[in-house]
Amino acid sequence: MRRIEIAGGGLAGLSLGIALRRRGVPVLIREASVYPRHRVCGEFINGVTEETLEVLGIWPLFDDALRHRATRWWMGERLILEAELTRPALGMSRWEMDERLREKFENTGGELRTNDRAICEAKEGLVWTAGRMLQKKSELLGLKAHFEGVELEGFLEMHIGEGSYLGLTPITADGSRVNVCGLFRKGARTKGVNPIIDALQRSGLDGLAARLEKGRMDQKSLTGISGIQLGEQSVKDDLCTLGDAERMIPPFTGNGMSMAFESAECALQPLIDYAEGGEDWTGTQERIREALDLRFQKRVNLALMLHRCLTIRAGRVTLSAAARSGVLPFAWLHRRLS
C-alpha cells in the first residue's frame, strides 16, 4: 500500500487523512503550525451535507454543532434582507473543530508532524492542502476576532461596506460569544485603534464599529491574513492541491469550509486507487482535477460575480434595491452557492 503525504493540517488535510486512514491507507500529515489555534474564518459551515461528512467519517464530530437557520444583511446602516437558509449551517469555532479533527486523525493511526513546513513542490503521493497561495500584490485583507457582549438575536449577520464586508456569527449556544470576520481593502491604520474597528470605520460601517466597541474583544483570538487571491489559485504545474490551495470562494458565501470538506471527498477515491496500485499518479491527479472542476467551477464563478457586486458602488446599489423590493432570489442563490 502506497503512503499518501499531506502538506497542511487544516480542514481539507485532516478530513482527507481521516477518510484515507479509515480505509487502511498510510497517511502522513505535515503541519507548519501547532494545535489548537485561531484562524481567519466565519466559523460556520454553509452547504456541506451530512452525506459528505459521513463519507469522510467525521459526521459525529458535529453532533453538538450549532444549527444556524436564518440570516440578516445590512448595506451600510440599512437592513436590506432577512431570510431563511435553504439548509442549516453548522456552527463551531475553528479552535474546537481543528482540535477534534486532529484527535480523530491520530486515533485512526495517522502520523501527524507539527511545526513541520513542507516544501511546495510537485511530488508523487504529495497532496498540498496548506491553504491559499500568497499573492503579494493583492489589496485584500482578512481579519477575525471573538467578541463578547454583542447580541445577534439568533441570526447570521452580514454587513456590507465600501469595498468590504463582514460577518457576525454566534459560536456559543447562549450567544454570549460571537465570531467577527471580514474581508477588507488594505488601508492605513490609526495608531492604537483595534484593527477591526479601524477597518469598519474606513469602510463606512461606523454604526457596527460603535456596536462592537461596546463589547469585549478576546485579544488572543485576533488574527489576520493578507495576500489573498479569490478564485483559482496560481500553483506550480503538477502540484496536487485541495481546499483553499486549489481555489478560494469569496467569503461572503460562508462556503469555504464546506469546500474544504467537499474537496477531500472529491480526492478520496482517486487517492485510494493510487494507494492500492490501481492508478498512476498522473491519472490520479487528472481525476481529482476533473472532480473539483465539476463540483466547484460554476459555484465559484457565480460567487466571484456577486463579490464584485458587493465591492463596487453600482453593484451595491443594485443589490440593495433588489433585496429591499423582494426580487433578489436569495433561496436560489443560497442553493447555488452552497
Q: What is the mean pLDDT of residues 206-226?
A: 94
In a domain, 12, yes or no: yes
Instruction: Say which residue, 234 or 34, is predicted with more confidence.
Output: 34
In a domain, 149, yes or no: no
Distance CA 33, CA 259 (A): 22
Q: Looking at the predicted structure, is the pLDDT value of residue 224 above 70?
A: yes
Q: What is the pLDDT of residues 136-172, one digit of tens each?
A: 788 899 999 999 999 888 799 999 999 999 999 999 9
In a domain, 75, yes or no: yes
3-state secondary structure 224-244: EEECCCCEECCCCCCCEECHH
Distance CA 286, CA 292 (A): 10
Q: Looking at the predicted structure, is the pLDDT value of residue 209 above 60?
A: yes
Give residue 298's pLDDT band: very low, low, confident or very high (50, 70, 90): very high
Residues of the chain with pLDDT > 70, as a percent, come to 98
In a domain, 95, yes or no: yes
**pLDDT in the model for residue 168:** 97
Q: Looking at the predicted structure, is the pLDDT value of residue 131 above 80?
A: no
Give residue 104's pLDDT band: very low, low, confident or very high (50, 70, 90): very high
Q: Looking at the predicted structure, is the pLDDT value of residue 18 above 80?
A: yes
- CATH number of the domain bearing residue 298: 3.50.50.60
132's CB contacts (< 8 A; 6+ apart) are 225, 227, 228, 229, 233, 244, 245, 248
In a domain, 236, yes or no: yes
In a domain, 161, yes or no: no
Q: Looking at the predicted structure, is the pLDDT value of residue 21 above 90?
A: yes
**pLDDT in the model for residue 190:** 55
Q: What is the pLDDT of residues 257-267, one digit of tens each?
A: 999 999 999 99
Dihedral (CA of 6, 292, 315, 85) sign? negative
What sections of 24-80 are H helices per DSSP? 50-56
Q: What is the mean pLDDT of residues 263-275?
A: 98
SS3 313: helix
Q: What is the mean pLDDT of residues 117-121?
A: 88
Task: Read off the C-alpha cell for 96.
Answer: 474546537
User: Nearest 5°: phi and psi at 2?
Assistant: -75, 145
Residues of the chain with pLDDT > 90, as a percent, come to 86
Q: What is the pLDDT of residues 70-103, one digit of tens each?
A: 999 999 999 999 999 999 999 999 999 999 999 9
Identify whether the C-beta of residue 175 lies closer than 8 Å to the C-beta of residue 151.
yes
**pLDDT in the model for residue 239:** 93
Distance CA 322, CA 146 (A): 32
Q: What is the mean pLDDT of residues 168-177?
A: 92
Indicate the average pLDDT of the chain: 93
Give residue 189's pLDDT band: very low, low, confident or very high (50, 70, 90): low
Q: Under the phi-then-psi rule, with left for phi > 0, alpha for psi from -120 to 50, and beta for the rest, what region is 83?
A: beta
Q: Tell me which H or E stretch contains 303.
A: helix 281-311
**pLDDT in the model for residue 9:** 95
Distance CA 104, CA 99 (A): 9
Please give the tally of structural domains in the chain: 1
Give residue 192's pLDDT band: very low, low, confident or very high (50, 70, 90): low
**pLDDT in the model for residue 119:** 86
In a domain, 113, yes or no: yes
Q: Looking at the predicted structure, is the pLDDT value of residue 308 above 70?
A: yes
In a domain, 130, yes or no: yes
Q: Looking at the predicted structure, is the pLDDT value of residue 135 above 90?
A: no
Q: What is the mean pLDDT of residues 253-280?
A: 97
Domain region containing 18? 4-135+229-336
